[in-house]
């Protein structure tokens, strides 16, 4: 039996999480759209993602003329921090405020540093898109709830980095997509994918090649609860009938994805191992049925425990 993980996987069910999530989703979209405005285009739109840090989420450095700028959500000190490479910076506290107020403060912080990106000022990938400057509906921020969500993202990031070590083919970084509010990692077979009928510009680029993608939703994603997911695109026939582990994992016929509930992970003897089992077994199911060249694409992960 595996030893119990020494990393804390907190409960993501404090009373303030749901409303905090809805507000934080809009805030991360605002900051993420700065990356969309400033960062040069990369394949599969990878330039738009945010990244997990030891304090929260960051844009990483973005070019702005002859300068570089980065924005970070700090979920320990609960601040939004803007820094430039010339030493200039500005911050303001993360607290309960409307999306409109956050948007105004954020743009003011950028302009104080001489940065004025052309941000598309309305959210995407949501059922009702309220322009940021008019959004007074979303105004909650429970600091403990935000901190717990970040801790789970940090734990997931750690396990996903281990998962990446077993693959030699093309794969994405472990990155956070603010549109769908999920942390994800994607592996590629190396083969082009059939065009998706009716796909928009973003989807055509994102799924231009065969992928198996896995990630974590903190309560969104159409499943109704915090969960890990994995899917193959295009999906090979019979994928839903494949057995995966751990035993609590399932296949959602509605979402066309394998799902592992976060609460099942947290209650397991070793959450790290449970997530790794899910990532490995769901990937293997998809790669087998889609006839990926696994002998070329895979290798055993290095054992660094003795180094």
pLDDT in tens, 142-183: 999 999 999 999 999 999 999 999 999 999 999 999 999 999
Q: Which domain holds residue 176?
A: 143-297
Query: Given this model, what pLDDT does residue 222 score?
Result: 67
Q: Check whether residue 60 and residue 91 sit in a common domain.
A: yes
Whether omega for the bond prior to residue 234 falls within 30 degrees of 0, making it cis, is yes
Q: Check whether residue 117 and residue 148 sit in a common domain.
A: no
Q: Check whether residue 272 and residue 161 sit in a common domain.
A: yes
Q: What is the pLDDT of residues 195-249, one digit of tens each?
A: 888 888 888 999 999 999 999 999 876 677 899 999 999 999 999 999 999 999 9
Q: How many domains does the chain have?
A: 2
Q: Check whether residue 73 and residue 167 sit in a common domain.
A: no
Tracing tokens 């093309």 back to the chain, one arrives at 170
Q: Check whether residue 100 and residue 214 sit in a common domain.
A: no
Q: Check whether residue 64 and residue 157 sit in a common domain.
A: no
Whether omega for the bond prior to residue 246 falls within 30 degrees of 0, making it cis, is yes
Q: Burial of 147 by CB count in 10 Å (0-12 exposed, 13-18 middle, 19+ buried)?
A: middle
Q: Check whether residue 51 and residue 159 sit in a common domain.
A: no
Q: Check whether residue 65 and residue 41 sit in a common domain.
A: yes
Backbone angles phi, psi at 184, to 5 degrees: -140, 160
Q: Is residue 7 part of a domain?
A: no
Q: Check whether residue 159 and residue 271 sit in a common domain.
A: yes
Q: What is the pLDDT of residues 131-144, one digit of tens each?
A: 999 999 999 999 99
Q: Check whether residue 52 and residue 159 sit in a common domain.
A: no
Percent of the chain residues past pLDDT 90, beyond the cut? 86
49 vs 43, 81, 120, 161, CA distance in Å?
12, 17, 16, 16
Q: Is residue 302 part of a domain?
A: no
């Amino acid at each position: 039996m595996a030893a119990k993980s020494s990393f804390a996987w907190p409960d993501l069910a404090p009373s303030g999480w749901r409303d905090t999530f809805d507000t934080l989703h809009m805030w991360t979209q605002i900051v993420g759209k700065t990356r969309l405005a400033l960062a040069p285009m990369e394949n599969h739109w990878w330039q738009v993602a945010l990244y997990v840090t030891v304090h929260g989420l960051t844009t990483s450095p973005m070019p702005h003329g002859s300068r570089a700028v980065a924005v970070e959500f700090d979920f320990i000190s609960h601040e939004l921090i803007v820094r430039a490479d010339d030493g200039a910076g500005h911050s303001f506290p993360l607290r309960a405020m409307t999306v409109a107020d956050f948007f105004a403060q954020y743009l003011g912080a950028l302009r104080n540093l001489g940065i004025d990106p052309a941000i598309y000022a309305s959210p995407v990938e949501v059922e009702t898109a309220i322009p940021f400057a008019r959004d007074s509906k979303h105004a909650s921020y429970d600091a403990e709830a935000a901190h717990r969500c970040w801790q789970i993202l940090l734990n997931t990031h750690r396990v996903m980095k281990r998962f990446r070590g077993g693959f030699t083919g093309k794969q994405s970084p472990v990155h956070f997509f603010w549109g769908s509010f999920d942390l994800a990692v994607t592996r590629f077979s190396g083969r082009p994918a059939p065009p998706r009928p009716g796909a928009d510009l973003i989807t055509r680029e994102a799924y231009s090649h065969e992928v198996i993608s896995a990630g974590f939703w903190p309560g969104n994603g159409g499943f109704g609860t915090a969960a890990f997911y994995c899917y193959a695109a295009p999906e090979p026939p019979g994928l839903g009938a494949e057995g995966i582990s751990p035993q609590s994992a399932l296949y959602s016929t509605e979402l066309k994805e394998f799902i592992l509930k976060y609460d099942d992970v947290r209650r397991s003897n070793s959450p790290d191992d449970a997530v790794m089992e899910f990532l490995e077994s769901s990937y293997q199911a998809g790669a087998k049925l889609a006839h990926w060249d696994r002998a070329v694409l895979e290798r055993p992960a290095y054992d660094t425990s003795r180094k």
